[in-house]
Homo-oligomer: A and B are copies of this chain.
């Protein structure tokens, strides 16, 4: 670092550095969501395929929270680390993301989630066989589909499911707006860690109905993958429930951003410019 010759990683950088922001950000969102879903589904599988022995719900809550934190750290200086179409669309309505970028983000996030599901399936394939044998089922004692995406219990109506996802994703975006608000004054380097802890919190309060997908890519991407394993029932199950965790999170995310600003954000005293200058040492990132 203090040496005269240049480090290998800097040499690589000079050779492959992508100068186009959209390409760079799309790659980052793709890879970040891939990592998020790969790790997150492996957490779920460690819970389900071990007969709820090697993980319990606290590890699911904490593990997903840390996974969010670290995946957002990875992408925070390129794309901003949305890793979630609901987040991207909410940020778009806040005027901080062009419509075209937003659309591309949503697509690559879903592709990344699909591939993430494939990899977590591969790494725990032996365990799946050991746990469920030839059974590939959505409900029942040897059901494993729930480790990929959400399947509501029979006693939960689709109306409740819809509001559950509106509220769950709403909580996420409400507190993400709090953390990102320059006037609240949280240093930028702490944001991804706090985003993760928000998800941990949501897991302790909004996990009972659906297991808090709160991310259209995280639910739909793996669901496409499960099509090849469990058949078309993954889409028809529970009166075509599958579209709820795709659309409801977007509703909740957009509403929550504006609710935060309506009730609290718009009324915080102080000049913004001043706050930005104060904080500028920490980050040159746009969100």
Contact = CB atoms under 8 A, between A and B. Distances in A.
Interface stretch (A62-70, A100-108, A237-245): A62-70
A50 to B, nearest CB: 6
A139 to B, nearest CB: 15
Q: Classify chain A's interface size.
A: 35 or more
Interface string A202-246: 001111110000000000000000000000000000000000000
Contacts of A207: 46, 54-55
A28 interface: yes
Contacts of A264: 27-28, 31-32, 74-75, 78
Oligomeric state, in number of copies?
A: 4
Contacts of A167: 119, 123
A149 to B, nearest CB: 17
A157 B130 CA distance: 12
A122 interface: yes
Given A12-B266, A57-B56, A208-B124, A67 B201 contact: yes
Nearest to A153: B130
B266 A74 contact: no
A166 to B, nearest CB: 10
A130 B1 CA distance: 53
Contacts of A67: 201, 205
Given A60-B204, A123-B163, 19 more contacts: A1-B276, A7-B96, A8-B95, A17-B266, A31-B263, A39-B171, A43-B204, A56-B56, A56-B58, A61-B62, A63-B204, A77-B269, A119-B167, A124-B209, A126-B209, A127-B155, A127-B208, A185-B188, A269-B284
